[in-house]
Structure 1
Amino acid sequence: MFKINLENRIEKIENRLFSLISKRVFILFSIFYSLNTQAQCAMCRASLESEGNTAKAEAVNDGIVYLMVIPYVLVGVVGVVVYRMYSKKK
């Protein structure tokens, strides 16, 4: 009986810890996702703005942001898969 009670307590602590960690990750993701990004390096920006073609500069900036987002999406997908695998075990 004592062993079962101890296992239940340990399981509750693990659930609380997992919940706390997932909430913090969500909050950090929300903060960083809402930040405005300026993805061009100084040299790329200077060379594109010197030509006077702002549409081309914006297109390059959008492409850099697109390339930057892909690793975050992949990490998110892996995180969801691991979370589902962890949840199925319980």
Structure 2
Amino acid sequence: MKKSVFIIILILSIFFSQDAEAQCAMCRAVLESEEGQSTAEGVNNGIVYLMAIPYLVVAGIGYAIYRKFRKEA
């Protein structure tokens, strides 16, 4: 039962996914018109930094929980 529900959700998410624009129109216009592209690189690095921090926090919490249950066993 659970496996079939997972497969259905996976198939639906693949077929009904949409592309998303991550930047507002003003930011995009400024970043595309710049010559050196240094600002665009900085914005992209900032996006990666902001994306990585929540994953690291969740991974740390998961590791702490794993260690707690590992000690009890």
TM-score class, shorter-chain normalisation, is 0.5 to 0.7
Q: 1:82 aligns with which of 65, 69, 72?
A: 65
Shift of residue 73 of structure 1?
0.3
Shifted more, 80-89 versus 53-62: the winner is 53-62
**Structure 1 42/52 Cα, relative in aligned 2: closer, same or farther at 3 Å?**
farther
Q: What amino acid does structure 2 have at the position aligned with 1:76?
A: A
Matches within 5 A, 1:52-63: 52-63=35-46
Ranges of 4+ aligned residues in structure 1 off by more than 6 Å: none
Matches within 5 A, 1:8-47: 40-41=22-23, 43=25, 44-47=27-30
Question: SS at the partner of 2:35?
Answer: coil
Is this contact kept in 2: 1:48–1:57, CA < 8 A? yes
TM-score, L = length of structure 1 = 0.50
- Tell me the distance in 1 between the aligned counterparts of 2:32 and 2:66: 45
Identity across matched positions, percent: 49
Greater relative contact order (Cα < 8 A, sep 6+): 1
* More helix by percentage: 1
